[in-house]
């Protein structure tokens, strides 16, 4: 499968998933078991996915984290931590994202990062900016997402991950394409 | 007849101009007079010299232990509260972080609200303010209160009524241009800075005419000489003319256009030399490999003429920054003896961990010494005027994020990006000839990597993790006494958290400062011995001020945790280099304090 058709397939899947989830919400969300948003179902050239094709982290037997999660650590601490605090822990200014990545649907996460969100009222003035035009964020969305999920489950402790898988050619290629170099 | 009328008109015009001149000169004299009166606190910095020293001595080292809370005021805003209230006559002016409310409180009537001004600002400005929506306070001059909003709108309010007199917009938040700083009224002008170094903003200082808000001049930190208001022949760097286009020729291509060097610190002014002083911030991005060259005039101390903006001298402290040692901290002006000679000095505690003493007339470098022994990125500054590297810090290769390169994590660099000291202003007592400096005691790992620029988006390009200075007392701050003549620490009080509060020194031989846990502390100006402490409702990142009312001395402080400290320290720090055992071993600020703005006013019992 070429990467292009892959993307389209993923987008279609995303759309159907969104509708599917909405429907589930409309019925009842109490007795239905939440889908496993964490466990690795399969991997593809250095990227790991759940059975619902949602990006997830992978910790090897020797404790090494997958490249995407490591990359997410770096990007998070460049783009996100100035508001959300170190390692997704939250701050006096913005909420703890390590929790959001667990509680929030992947597609909602992508939506909020891309389009932003405003909560301004008597008690709050939280404004999440839209990063949709920022390649330093948008090209690393899955990286940041998997890193935060790994933090949320405490699979990765605070601090810099000590060991990591090498960066795969596919990831390098996708990065260059996305950054336009 | 017609000619007569024209002549008459010309005469009227010239008298108006003359009158205008007289008014503005006397406005400045009025402000100077108010600053000289210790019963008032008319400027965020205490006075033009930024000494933060009060001649009041009713509260002194012998009775400060009896201090009590006299009254309090809730600001109604949750975010980080920097700066301090002002007192002019019988009125106290209190500001808040975004949405930047101003309250005028009647000191004759138990702090009753005389007027309240709340500007309407688009919430879009909130996320482009790096590190919280702080605001370091209003300024006063010529019967007006100057409010510089987060969205860079500068508003002049009638101090008596709170009515808007004029307003002007200084920058564009959609490009990441914002404001956190106070402004400085000088003569007939208001001097204004800008924030946004993490968004690729090109820093500038702007003077607006106090009477109507019209633009007088703007001097950029980098760019062609016509933009920087630098004279290639007359403006000097360490005694030598800077030469043509010094603001572009140490940059590659057009990179100076998004060069950073923002100007959000405290400004000072010497009326005799007629010069204003301030520092410029870090060059954008934090990845040094992406912007080869010295990146002039980021990281620079500027001395400019307030009427024209022309720069008299500059001194670049950290050429080609590799650590985000944003050079905006205040310049404190003192007249002291140096090597047996009376000198007009400028003392500056830079983020890079060096305490500088310069001659503020000529820009000559006299002292550059570490004010935290943990500082390790440099072995020191070359003080030999005949050397090729005169005035430059010698960089230790191991801690050079440039030499180690992109995608390499440089570890154990001291200080961290927040500096050995950030904006929290120091105080100076002429009685003890000592500087009292709130400091950070934090180190970092720093890994730069490639980023691309998008207008209005963060332009950072480095990952960093911070932790308390290793092999020390385990805390993240110190409150130190500094000798600026010999470049030596006199004494140092270890603090659990960074000291993020501006200090106040008084003629009562007491020095006040606040802590991030929320304590207001009073210490002996000579020994540092703790004399008093009181825990306010929230962590303190505001500055201590003092005034009198009805012949009685008061001390006031804004509490309300936030700012960089609230973001970086809320969850506590970890040291990735100390192994798993140490992780989570450091104090988390959130275990001590929560959000909320309150002013607490202290006095001795009757």
Tell me the C-alpha distance between B266 and B263, whole Å: 9
- Cβ pairs A/B, distance under 8 A: 125
- A78 pLDDT band (50/70/90 cuts)? confident
Q: Is residue A41 part of a domain?
A: no
Tell me whether B131 touches chain A (CB under 8 Å). yes
Written in H, E and C, the secondary structure of B393-460 is EEECHHHCHHHHCCCCCEEEECCCCCCCCCCCCCEEECCCCEEEEEEECEEEEEEECCCCCCCCCCCC
Question: How does the average pLDDT of chain B come out, rounded?
Answer: 92
Return the pLDDT at B162: 98
Count of domains for chain A: 1
Sheet hosting strand B112-117, strand order edge to edge: B86-88, B91-95, B102-106, B112-117
B101-128 pLDDT, tens digit each: 999 999 999 999 999 999 999 888 888 8
Return the pLDDT at B302: 98
| Catalytic, out of B151, B324, B326, B372 | B324
The separation between CA B186 and the C-alpha centre of its own chain, rounded to angstroms, equals 17
Inform me whether the pLDDT recorded for B239 exceeds 60. Answer: yes
Return the pLDDT at B575: 63
A158 neighbourhood in chain B, CB within 8 Å? 574, 583-584
Does residue B91 or residue A34 have the better pLDDT? B91
Q: What is the DSSP letter of B152?
A: S
A115-133 pLDDT, tens digit each: 998 887 777 777 888 999 9
Inform me whether the pLDDT recorded for B130 exceeds 70. Answer: no
Inform me whether the pLDDT recorded for B280 exceeds 70. Answer: yes
The separation between CA B165 and the C-alpha centre of its own chain, rounded to angstroms, equals 27
B515-571 pLDDT, tens digit each: 999 999 999 999 999 999 999 999 999 999 999 999 999 999 999 999 888 887 777
Could you tell me the CATH number of the domain that includes residue A168?
Answer: 1.10.760
Inform me whether the pLDDT recorded for B477 exceeds 70. Answer: yes
B294: annotated active-site residue: no
Q: Is residue A34 part of a domain?
A: no
Question: Do the Cβ atoms of A151 and A102 come closer than 8 Å?
Answer: no
Return the pLDDT at B564: 83
Question: Do the Cβ atoms of B371 and B354 come closer than 8 Å?
Answer: yes
Tell me the C-alpha distance between B79 and B65, whole Å: 30
Question: Do the Cβ atoms of A174 and A3 come closer than 8 Å?
Answer: yes
Taking an 8 Å cut-off on Cβ atoms, the answer to whether A92 and B454 are in contact is: no
Query: Do the annotations mark residue B324 as ligand-binding?
Result: yes
Which member of B131, B461, B561 has the closest CB to residue A78? B461
Question: Do the Cβ atoms of B115 and B161 come closer than 8 Å?
Answer: yes
Question: Do the Cβ atoms of B516 and B438 come closer than 8 Å?
Answer: no
- B409 pLDDT band (50/70/90 cuts)? very high
Return the pLDDT at A179: 87
Three-point CA angle B189, B193, B199, nearest 5°: 155
Taking an 8 Å cut-off on Cβ atoms, the answer to whether A134 and B457 are in contact is: yes
Query: Do the annotations mark residue B402 as ligand-binding?
Result: no
Tell me the C-alpha distance between B606 and B604, whole Å: 6
Q: Please state the φ and ψ torsions of residue B201, each to the nearest 5 degrees.
A: -75, 145
Sheet hosting strand B311-316, strand order edge to edge: B240-241, B236-237, B311-316, B300-304, B275-279, B268-270
B136-147 pLDDT, tens digit each: 999 999 999 999
Q: Is residue A122 part of a domain?
A: yes
**No. of H helices and E strands in chain B?**
4, 40
CB neighbours of residue A86 within 10 Å: 25
Q: Is residue A70 part of a domain?
A: yes
- A33 pLDDT band (50/70/90 cuts)? low
Q: Tell me the average pLDDT across B498-508.
A: 97
Taking an 8 Å cut-off on Cβ atoms, the answer to whether B571 and A77 are in contact is: no
Q: How far from A20 is each of A8, A33, A105, B30, CA to CA, in Å?
A: 18, 14, 12, 71
CB neighbours of residue A43 within 10 Å: 13
- Burial pattern B476-503, b for ≥16 Cβ within 10 A else e, equals bbbbbbbbbbebebbbbbebbbbbbbbb
Return the pLDDT at B111: 96
Q: Tell me the average pLDDT across A77-95.
A: 87
Tell me the C-alpha distance between A97 and A117, whole Å: 14
A5-20 pLDDT, tens digit each: 444 444 444 433 333 3
B202-212 pLDDT, tens digit each: 999 999 999 99
Inform me whether the pLDDT recorded for B4 exceeds 50. Answer: no
Return the pLDDT at B590: 85
Q: Strand B311-316 relative to strand B236-237: parallel, antiparallel, unpaired? A: parallel
Domain that holds residue A105: 61-179
Tell me the C-alpha distance between B74 and B597, whole Å: 6
Return the pLDDT at B586: 60
Query: Do the annotations mark residue B334 as ligand-binding?
Result: no
Give the chain B residue whose CA is nearest to the CA of A76: B463
Tell me the C-alpha distance between A171 and A151, whole Å: 22
Q: Is residue A68 part of a domain?
A: yes
B291-318 pLDDT, tens digit each: 999 999 999 999 999 999 999 999 999 9
Return the pLDDT at B566: 81
Return the pLDDT at A4: 40
A122-178 pLDDT, tens digit each: 777 778 889 999 999 999 999 999 999 999 999 998 888 989 999 999 999 999 999
Residue B217 neighbours by CB under 8 Å, 6+ apart:
B206, B207, B229, B308, B309
Q: Measure the CA dihedral B15/B17/B22/B25, to 10°.
A: -170
Q: Tell me the average pLDDT across B578-599.
A: 70
Inform me whether the pLDDT recorded for B14 exceeds 60. Answer: no
**Which of B466, B571, B575 is the best residue to mutate to test the A interface, defined by the most A CB atoms within 10 Å of its own CB?**
B571
Return the pLDDT at B125: 87
Q: Is residue A120 part of a domain?
A: yes
As given in the structure block, the two tokens for residue B3 are 């000619």
Q: HSE on the CB side for A104, CA within 13 Å?
A: 20
Residue B553 neighbours by CB under 8 Å, 6+ apart:
B56, B58, B59, B546, B547, B603, B604
Tell me whether A131 touches chain B (CB under 8 Å). yes
Query: Do the annotations mark residue B180 as ligand-binding?
Result: yes
Return the pLDDT at B466: 87
Shortest CA distance to A57 belongs to which of A175, A161, A132, A179?
A: A161
Tell me the C-alpha distance between A83 and A104, whole Å: 19
Question: Do the Cβ atoms of A122 and B598 come closer than 8 Å?
Answer: no
B419-441 pLDDT, tens digit each: 999 999 999 999 999 999 999 99
B323-362 pLDDT, tens digit each: 999 999 999 999 999 999 999 999 999 999 999 999 999 9
**β-sheet bridge partners, residue B325:** none
Give Rg (Cα) of chain A.
17
- Percent of chain A, pLDDT > 90? 51
Q: Is residue A71 part of a domain?
A: yes
Q: Is residue A43 part of a domain?
A: no
**No. of H helices and E strands in chain A?**
8, 5
């Amino acid at each position: 499968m070429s990467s292009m058709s892959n993307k389209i397939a993923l987008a279609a899947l995303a759309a159907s998933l969104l509708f599917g989830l909405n429907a589930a919400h409309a019925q009842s969300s109490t007795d239905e078991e939440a889908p496993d948003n964490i466990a690795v179902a399969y991997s593809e050239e250095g990227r790991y996915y759940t059975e619902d094709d949602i990006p997830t982290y992978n910790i090897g037997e020797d404790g090494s984290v997958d490249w995407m999660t490591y990359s997410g650590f770096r990007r998070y601490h460049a783009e996100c931590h100035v508001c959300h605090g170190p390692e997704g822990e939250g701050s006096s200014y913005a909420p703890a994202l390590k929790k959001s990545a667990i509680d929030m649907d992947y597609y909602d996460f992508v939506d909020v990062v891309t389009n932003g969100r405003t909560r301004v009222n008597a008690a709050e003035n939280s404004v999440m900016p839209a990063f949709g035009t920022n390649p330093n964020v948008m090209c690393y969305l899955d990286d940041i997402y998997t890193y935060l999920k790994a933090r949320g489950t405490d699979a990765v402790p605070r601090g810099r991950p000590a060991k990591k898988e090498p960066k795969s050619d596919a990831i390098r290629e996708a990065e260059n394409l996305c950054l336009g170099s | 007849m017609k000619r007569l009328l024209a002549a008459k008109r010309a005469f009227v015009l010239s008298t108006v101009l003359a009158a205008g001149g007289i008014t503005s000169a006397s406005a400045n004299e009025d402000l100077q007079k108010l600053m000289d009166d210790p019963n008032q606190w008319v400027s965020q910095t205490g006075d033009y010299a930024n000494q933060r020293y009060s001649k009041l001595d009713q509260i002194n080292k012998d009775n400060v232990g009896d201090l009590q809370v006299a009254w309090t005021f809730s600001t109604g805003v949750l975010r980080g509260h920097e700066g301090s209230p002002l007192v002019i006559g019988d009125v106290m002016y209190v500001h808040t972080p975004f949405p930047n409310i101003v309250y005028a409180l009647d000191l004759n009537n138990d702090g009753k609200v005389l007027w309240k001004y709340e500007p309407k600002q688009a919430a879009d400005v909130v996320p482009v303010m790096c590190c919280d929506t702080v605001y370091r306070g209003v300024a006063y001059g010529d019967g007006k209160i100057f409010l510089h909003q987060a969205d860079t709108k500068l508003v002049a309010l009638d101090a008596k009524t709170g009515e808007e007199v004029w307003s002007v917009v200084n920058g564009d938040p959609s490009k990441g241009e914002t404001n956190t700083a106070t402004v400085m009224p000088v003569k007939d002008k208001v001097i204004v800075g800008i924030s946004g170094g993490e968004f690729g903003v090109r820093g500038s200082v702007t003077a607006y005419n106090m009477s109507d808000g019209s633009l007088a001049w703007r001097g950029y930190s980098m760019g062609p000489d016509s933009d920087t208001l630098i004279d290639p022949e007359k403006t000097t760097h360490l005694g030598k003319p800077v030469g043509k286009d010094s603001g572009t020729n140490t940059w590659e291509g057009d990179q100076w256009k998004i060069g950073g060097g923002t100007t959000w610190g405290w400004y000072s002014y010497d009326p005799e030399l007629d010069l204003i002083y301030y520092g410029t911030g870090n060059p954008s991005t934090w990845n040094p490999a992406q912007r080869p060259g010295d990146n002039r005039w980021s990281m620079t101390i500027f001395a400019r003429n307030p009427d024209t903006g022309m720069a008299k001298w500059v001194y670049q402290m950290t050429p080609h920054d590799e650590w985000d040692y944003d050079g905006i901290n205040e310049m404190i002006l003192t007249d002291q003896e140096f090597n047996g000679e009376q000198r007009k000095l400028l003392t500056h505690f830079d983020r890079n961990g060096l305490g500088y003493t310069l001659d503020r007339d000529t820009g000559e470098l006299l002292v550059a010494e570490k004010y935290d022994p943990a500082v390790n990125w440099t072995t020191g500054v070359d003080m030999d005027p005949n050397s090729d590297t005169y005035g430059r810090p010698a960089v230790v290769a191991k801690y050079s994020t440039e030499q180690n390169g992109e995608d390499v994590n440089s570890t154990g660099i001291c200080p961290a990006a927040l500096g050995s000291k950030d904006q929290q202003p120091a105080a100076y007592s002429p009685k003890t000839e000592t500087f009292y400096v709130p400091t950070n005691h934090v180190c970092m790992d720093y890994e730069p990597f490639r980023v691309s620029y998008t207008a209005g988006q963060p332009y950072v390009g480095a990952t960093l993790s911070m932790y308390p200075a290793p092999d020390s007392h385990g805390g993240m701050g110190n409150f130190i006494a500094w000798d600026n003549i010999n470049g030596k620490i006199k004494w140092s009080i270890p603090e659990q958290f960074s000291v993020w509060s501006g200090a106040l020194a008084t003629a009562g031989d007491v020095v006040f400062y606040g802590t991030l846990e929320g304590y207001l502390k009073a210490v002996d100006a000579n020994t540092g011995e703790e004399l008093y402490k009181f825990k306010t409702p929230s962590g303190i990142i505001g500055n201590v001020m003092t005034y009198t009312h009805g012949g009685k001395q008061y001390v006031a402080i804004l509490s309300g945790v936030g700012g960089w400290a609230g973001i970086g320290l809320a969850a506590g720090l970890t040291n990735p280099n100390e192994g798993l055992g140490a992780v989570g071993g450091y104090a988390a600020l959130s275990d001590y304090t929560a959000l909320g703005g309150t002013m607490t006013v202290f006095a001795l019992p009757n």
